[in-house]
Chain A
């Protein structure tokens, strides 16, 4: 059975792009449109990888990433951040949240800044999932 990859992004075009790349490379794509929905699907569908946007309505990628990496059961689930936000800004917000009294979280496995070429996205996924 092919590996499941969850795409969490509020932009339908981004989802469509990523989903097509995944299909072309033989993965099973799953889609969520915000952090809340993403969290639920991670628990229910047990994906092998999460491709996560940062700026989303309802629950942002910053928060979902924190929740995943501080959850004993989920912290080993690999996450690729795919965002228009620069990696620096993402790390800065995580650091601020940690200083504010949260647990420290590791840096994401891979951080891709939009726009991303299909090949680079595919290469990254293959590196993680083989």
Chain B
């Protein structure tokens, strides 16, 4: 910055001026004519050039033009004669930074130099800024590219299926997990398929506000549904969706999908394994039951033998009945075993639960009467025709009702008026509560604990030990739950909650009581 070139054909001026400039701290290069000046400029490249305008040979304007040609940033200050305005203006036209008049006054000179320095400084700064800016833009671009790549990788490697659409709900993004879940390749979907042929209708309707006519809902929380996939089957998924906005305008949507096939399969497997292990535990218990039955069969055939030997038809009859009874017990045991080990989907149909419960009551009535147990019914008329599995209701209620009668028979307190009550109650639109209570022997906490979990019979020869296990399994397969309340010596109440659907008019497929694995709904 503090190097300058001074060109003047008058040696005195050159000498005086350069001395005063040097004393101001400048490093001064000098030349006595234009040509020499240009050579020095070429060699030393000073940032500021002071040149006289009138010189023999190459004039100041020529020098200015030549320097500007070589370096347009060079600051050239022209020294003009007093009042030589025309020349000064011409010099400015060719890019001179400033001009000063002769005789040169110190203030004018230092002002011109300051301006030139300022210009150089500003230009320098500007250049630095520009370089910086370019660097920054480059950095930002690189960062953006990196982030975009990262996002793309994230989307690609996401375990969730991700589907994005534009504002017309045409698919624009279909990641590999979506390919895996839906069975389509991205090329088949992107820009080709409308979202509604892939996404659950809940998403589309909610985003379009079609289902209710309400405003569009921007966020759809996680929920489960079943979806058709390419091969035509339906699979269970969990999904969530978001409408994408930009300044109040919908620009598209994105939805996330989780494949629940594996989870559902594992859930089923765990339940199945639990059941099998219960069956395993049961084998030990079963051995006892089977020994008793075999003993009964041996007894029966012994009586038959004696009847034949002694020609005693009464013994023969008793013996044969005993054989038959124990064949029946074998059948009960085996059927309970099979029912427990087997998977069964409920078969939903229109039925009248109250009538089923009445039927159950009449089935246990005889045994109850023989043992001085009275049966009462409390049936809610609101429980009319419903879509449920009538076989489930029947088996469950029969199991519980005969248990209840047994609990009375087993009661030590023979002073009691034994009662078994069967109750139904409508519990909202889609639930029915069934209850069986007795005032019989009740259960200790210990018995209650093992009640639903493993083979356990408190009934000696009468129970297979599987009744309640089967009951609970049936209830759960119907999407319901079973509860027990019991006090020792006071009685027991079993309550069963089962989901139901109204029978009239409504579509059977739309709202099943639960996800049941029946995939073929329309």
Contacts and interface: CB of A to CB of B under 8 A. Distances in A.
Task: Tell which of B292, B315, B318 has the most Cβ of chain A within 10 Å.
Answer: B292
Most buried by A among B287, B288, B295, B322: B295
B452 to A, nearest CB: 21
B441 to A, nearest CB: 9
B298 A118 contact: yes
Given A17-B322, A20-B315, A114 B292 contact: yes
B296 A11 contact: yes
A10 B458 CA distance: 12
Contacts of A11: 292, 296, 460-461
A116 B298 contact: yes
A16 interface: yes
A115 interface: yes
Interface string B275-304: 000000000000111011011111110110
A86 to B, nearest CB: 8
Contacts of B303: 16-17, 20
Interface in B42-86: none
Contact of A10 (B294, B322, B461): B461
B326 interface: yes
Given A10-B460, A13-B296, 13 more contacts: A11-B296, A11-B460, A14-B295, A17-B296, A20-B299, A20-B315, A55-B288, A84-B291, A84-B292, A113-B291, A114-B292, A115-B294, A118-B299
Contacts of A58: 410, 412
B306 A84 contact: no
A117 interface: yes
Contacts of B114: none
Interface string B317-347: 0100010011000000000000000000000
B448 interface: no
A55 B325 CA distance: 20
A56 interface: yes
A113 B294 CA distance: 11
A56 B292 CA distance: 13
A13 B460 contact: no
B460 to A, nearest CB: 5
Nearest to A82: B295
A58 B458 CA distance: 10
Nearest to B458: A57
Contacts of A117: 298
Contact of A56 (B294, B300, B302, B460): B460
A24 interface: yes
A84 B459 CA distance: 14
A21 interface: yes
Interface of A: 10-11, 13-14, 16-18, 20-21, 24, 55-58, 84-85, 113-118
Contacts of B289: 84
23 contacts: A11-B460, A13-B295, A13-B296, A13-B299, A13-B461, A14-B292, A14-B296, A14-B461, A16-B299, A16-B322, A17-B295, A17-B296, A17-B299, A18-B299, A56-B460, A85-B288, A113-B291, A114-B292, A115-B294, A115-B297, A115-B298, A116-B298, A118-B302
Contacts of B300: 13, 17
A114 B461 contact: no
Nearest to B325: A13
Contacts of A14: 292, 295-296, 299, 461
Interface core residue of B296, B297, B299 (most chain A CB under 10 Å): B299
B460 A114 contact: no
Given A84-B291, A113-B291, A20 B296 contact: no
Interface in B450-466: 458-461
Contacts of B298: 17, 115-118
Nearest to B322: A13
Interface in B3-26: none
A85 B295 CA distance: 12
A37 B303 CA distance: 26
Cβ-closest 8 pairs across A and B: A17-B299, A84-B291, A114-B295, A115-B294, A11-B461, A115-B295, A13-B296, A84-B288
B410 to A, nearest CB: 5
Contacts of B412: 58
Contacts of A21: 302
A116 B458 CA distance: 24
A37 B403 CA distance: 23
Contacts of A113: 291
A20 B461 contact: no
A88 to B, nearest CB: 12
Contact of A84 (B295, B297, B326, B458): B295
